[in-house]
Each structure stands twice: as structure tokens, then as C-alpha cells.
């Protein structure tokens, strides 16, 4: 599956859960993500789509920090990639 299609599916799934008020389910999804299984695009997709409700998700900030460290370890410019989220 093309990466853009995967991210669209992620965003639709999270958005649907947001509309339904299923914040605990979103938080559980985020808590179980394995960065080694995700592309940078997917990581950012999860963070961006869930950022409007980040205050309702106890695992959002730890996931953001984990992504930031992961990208830094890869030599990526996390401050640029995660602009607006940090």
C-alpha cells in the first residue's frame, strides 16, 4: 500500500474516533505504536491528526518525545519535521 494511502487511513480512523468521542481508544492506539514499524510520514500523521485533542490523551506527549528522539537518532531534523507540534 502506498504511504500516502496508509496515512489517509490512519487519519480517517483517528478522525472518526475523535468525532465519536472515543479518546481512550485513540490513546490506546498511540500507546501501542512501534516506531520501528512506522515511516516518518506515518509518525507525523498520528501526531498531527490527534494534536487537537492532545490534552485528552495521556500518551500523546510521550509519543511526541519518543518520535523526536527517534528522528534525532536517525540524523533527521526533528525540529523541522515536527514544527508546530513541539
Q: Which residue has the higher pLDDT, 58 or 4?
A: 58
| Residue 76 backbone class (left: φ over 0; alpha: ψ -120 to 50; beta: rest) | beta
Q: What percent of the chain has pLDDT over 90?
A: 85
pLDDT band for position 32 (cuts 50, 70, 90): very high
In this predicted structure, the answer to whether residue 74 has a pLDDT above a threshold of 90 is yes
Residue 78 has pLDDT above 70, yes or no: yes
CA 54 to chain centre: 10
Mean pLDDT over the full length of the chain: 94
- Work out the number of other CB atoms within 10 angstroms of the CB of residue 27: 19
Amino acid at each position: 500500500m502506498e504511504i500516502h494511502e496508509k496515512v489517509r487511513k490512519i487519519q480517517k480512523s483517528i478522525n472518526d474516533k475523535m468525532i465519536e468521542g472515543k479518546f481512550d481508544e485513540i490513546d490506546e492506539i498511540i500507546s501501542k505504536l512501534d516506531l520501528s514499524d512506522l515511516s516518518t510520514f506515518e509518525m507525523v500523521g498520528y501526531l498531527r491528526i490527534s494534536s487537537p485533542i492532545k490534552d485528552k490523551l495521556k500518551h500523546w506527549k510521550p509519543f511526541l518525545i519518543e518520535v523526536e528522539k527517534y528522528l534525532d537518532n536517525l540524523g533527521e531534523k526533528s525540529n523541522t519535521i515536527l514544527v508546530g507540534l513541539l
